[in-house]
């Protein structure tokens, strides 16, 4: 597919519907833009994943919540042979 698009004063552009559909990008979606040394631009669908950095207190809470249901139980481990 080859289309000509116009860049606005603010530097924005509108991707043709066919390109958005092909990339699987909807309203609010994100794209990764890569440009090589010859100036060719590649657009790829991108995704943003939330990242949480756990504090020591939060890690201790996870450990406590995971171990509480097991307290007082005898655990057996099967060893693969």
> Following DSSP, what letter does each residue of the chain receive, concatenated?
--------TTS-----HHHHHHHT--TT-EEEEEE-TT--EEEEEE------PPPHHHHHHHHHHHHGGGTTPPP--PPP-
Confidence (pTM) = 0.50
Secondary structure element (H or E) that encloses residue 66, with its range = helix 56-67
What residue segments make up the domains of the chain, in order of their start?
Answer: 1-72
Under CATH, what is the fold of the domain 1-72? Pemi-like Protein 1; Chain: D (2.10.260)
pLDDT in tens, 11-69: 999 999 998 898 888 888 889 999 999 999 998 888 878 888 999 999 999 888 888 77
**9: pLDDT confidence band, cut at 50, 70 and 90?**
very high
């Amino acid at each position: 597919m080859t289309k000509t698009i116009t860049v606005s004063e603010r530097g924005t552009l509108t991707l043709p519907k066919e390109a958005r559909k092909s990339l699987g990008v909807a309203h609010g979606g994100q794209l990764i833009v890569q440009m090589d040394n010859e100036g060719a631009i590649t657009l790829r669908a991108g995704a943003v994943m939330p990242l949480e950095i756990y504090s020591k207190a939060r890690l201790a809470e996870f450990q406590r919540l995971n171990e509480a249901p097991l307290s007082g139980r005898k655990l057996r481990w099967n060893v693969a042979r």
